Amino acid sequence: MGKTLPSAPWGVIETALRLAREPMETLDRAKSLAGDAYILKSVWGPVYVIANPTIVDALATNFNWNIVQTTPVTSESPEPFKQLAGDTSVTSEGYFHCHYRDSLRNQFSRSRLNDYAQILIDSFGQHSSGWQQKGVIEFSQSISDVTLDVVSKGIVGVEFTEAEKKQVRTTIDQIYNLQTRYLELGPAVTSWLSPLAFGHRRMTAKTRQLFDEKTVEASRCPFAKGYIFDFLQKEVGTKNPAIDIGRKKLVDELLGLIVAGIDTVSIATSWAVRILLDHPEIVEKIRAEADAMLATSLTATIGHEQLPYTRSVLLETLRLYPPFPLIVKQSVDEMIISDRVIPAKSPLFFLAFSIQRDQRWFADPLAFRPERWNGRLSEINQSTFLPFGTGTHRCLGWELALLEGCLILALLYSRFHVESASPTKFYPTHKIPYTMKINLTPKGGVRVRLRPRSN
């Protein structure tokens, strides 16, 4: 018989108020009071918060069959993400998840990554001239046009108009807002408030229709080059998904991959740009590396291995500010880990934000030190470095995300001087104000002005 985990010292209401004001600091404070595995009293009932990589590793490996990716929902009040994308390889469990995940691996092979990189380079060049004309841009919103091009052209195989891109971004923003409400208020209250989400449901239906039309367009275009689309088209058993009964599943999968793939890179690079505004010496190192690489590699194989210092900057950014600082899971049956009991059907929070700032796992953890990542990627402990998740649901496209992030930073600093366009107030790198929804973003965005380099 195992022991019950210790509890954070606050009741439901105080916990909710603290989380609304300072979410990450509240969870970290609870860790200092109750230990690195504790119970948080919340609107969901008891939530089991895990900030210990040993326990995370045990749950993600030895007990991976007993934890699921998302909290279960009722058909009357599905989570906002599932309202849009249904059950996909991103959200599903069991046989379907394993089958599609294994089958999709080839879509992130070296040759595929090289094609995605070329799409990104071309898109960056097209959009960056418009950024100069605007004078001031919000970086995350602007760079999401580039990441959306990679997804639409590389995965779906067709281009989106500017109006269609805006529609996709608006839908994703609504999903994050409602998903945050879902976690903050719990399923019962969210269901009660569901009439207020009518606009979201209408936008979701409109976006699903858009992707349905795009799959038909891609299937009729002999020059479409959407790799994952091609794979999924074969999986549903026909050369024309427009007439196949599996087309809904195809749309589900494309939407799931797009929601998962667009914002992670734009948020991560936005954090990097915000941090680098205070570190011009690091910018010069990125610029020198980028100049050397881009002078020789634009028509050759492109990989993040050619930008090792830039990759280290990106990894260090992801360590201090993971775009998704909480990994939300749920237990299926009761588990006993390190003599501690986790009951069946209990929400689990893997606290990536806290683990990645813990001095037990990272020396001088609050300092921004890209040099700590000079080793090989294979040496990274997946239980102490969690921006791509862990276990069977670890991000399948993590290497594409690294490649996109490295190329964005290399292209940006090789072509431009980046200046802050907001009133500047200095913050220590580890204390930059943030906004927490489901994701973690710089508070107020990152507004910058781009000046072309003289050379």
Q: How many domains does the chain have?
A: 1
Write out the residue range of the structural domain in which residue 401 sits: 3-452
**DSSP for 321-354, written as a single string:** S-SS-EEEEEESS-EEETTEEE-TT-EEEEEHHH
Q: Helices 308-320 and 280-297: crossing angle, nearest 10°? A: 130
Encode pLDDT of 337-351 as tens digits.
878 888 888 888 999
b vs e for 32-56, b when ≥16 Cβ sit within 10 Å of the residue's Cβ?
eebebbbbbbbbbebbbbbbbbebb
Q: What is the pLDDT of residue 196?
A: 47
How high does pLDDT run on average in the chain?
81
Phi/psi of residue 17, nearest 5 degrees? -65, -40
Encode pLDDT of 158-190 as tens digits.
788 888 888 888 888 877 777 676 666 655 555
CA dihedral 22→427→375→294, nearest 10 degrees, is 120
CB 347 within 8 A of CB 48: yes
Q: Is 36 helix (H, G, I), strand (E, B) or coil?
A: coil
What's the rounded Cα separation, in Å, for the pair 183 and 146? 30
Give the global pTM: 0.88
CB 104 within 8 A of CB 228: yes
Regions of the chain short of the pLDDT cut 70: 1, 63-65, 69-97, 99-100, 103, 179, 181-201, 218-247, 297-302, 375-376, 378, 455
CATH number at residue 342: 1.10.630.10
Q: What is the pLDDT of residue 94?
A: 63
Encode pLDDT of 121-141 as tens digits.
999 999 998 998 888 999 998
**DSSP for 55-71, written as a single string:** HHHHHHHTTGGGEESS-
Q: What is the pLDDT of residue 46?
A: 92
Structure tokens given for 26: 């509240």
Q: Is 10 helix (H, G, I), strand (E, B) or coil?
A: coil
What's the rounded Cα separation, in Å, for the pair 149 and 415? 20
Q: In the 3-class helix/strand/coil scheme, how is 270-323 assigned residue by residue?
A: HHHHHHHCCCHHHHHHHHHHHHHHHHHHCCCCCCHHHCHHHHHHHHHHHHHCCC
Distances in Å between the alpha carbon of 80 and those of 20, 204, 385? 20, 9, 27
